[in-house]
Amino acid sequence: MQKLLQQSTAAVVAIAISLVGLGAAGWWWLQSQSPLKLQHQSLTTPATTRFLPTDANLTLILEADPGRLPDYGRAVAPMRQRRQAAEQLEHLRDALFAAAGLDYATELADWLGDESALAVTSGDTPGWVLALSSRDDDGGRQFLQRFWQSRSLAGGDLDITRYRGL
């Protein structure tokens, strides 16, 4: 009888330890995947800024995966407004890229990295510069080839100039 009691106690302790371990591992995984980590990023100079003109009138830099912006909105919004916040951030992201003639879902989502920068210039050369980082070199390269090919087939005049040696 005592042996049966010891075995069942050992089994209960083993199950309890397993559940605590699984709970701790699950909590750690959720914390590591949380979009709330964006709030605690340290301030550094983004790599994309080296491609932007220093005399730009306006510079906007996003240092986060644009695909996760709706998740961030869902995480920080009050419970009743989570879906609306996610939809608004998704719409904002898509509209910003659409303003540059790009479709986020079909052209950028597969390869776009964690840094995106836009600079608006005026003066001698009015216009804008868009600098995007890539998760993989091949995706960015293929996008650029398709982008310039579609622009040349559309019959538009391409004005290709070198900027800072590129």
pLDDT at 94: 94
Q: Are 120 and 100 in contact (CB under 8 A)?
A: no
- Residue at 119 is within a domain: yes
CA distance linking residue 14 with residue 136, whole number of Å: 44
* Structural domain range at position 15: 2-33
Decide if pLDDT at 112 tops 70. Answer: yes
What angle is formed at CA 31 by the lines to CA 28 and CA 32, rounded to 5 degrees? 85
Give bridge partners of residue 121 from the DSSP assignment. 127
Structure tokens at 164: 């800072």
| Total domains present in the chain | 2
Report, as an integer, the average pLDDT of 6-16. Answer: 82
Closest-CA residue to 117 (of 40, 38, 55, 64): 64
Q: Are residues 48 and 28 in the same domain?
A: no
Instruction: Assess whether 29 and 47 both reside in one domain.
Output: no
Look-up of token digits 């995947």: 33
Residue 145 lies in a domain: yes
Q: Which of 137, 86, 89 is nearest to 112 (CA)?
A: 137
- Tell me the pTM: 0.63
Instruction: Specify if 161 maps to a domain.
Output: no
Give the pLDDT confidence score for residue 160 in this predicted structure.
64
Q: Cβ neighbours of residue 97 under 8 Å, at least 6 residues apart?
A: 66, 103, 104, 108
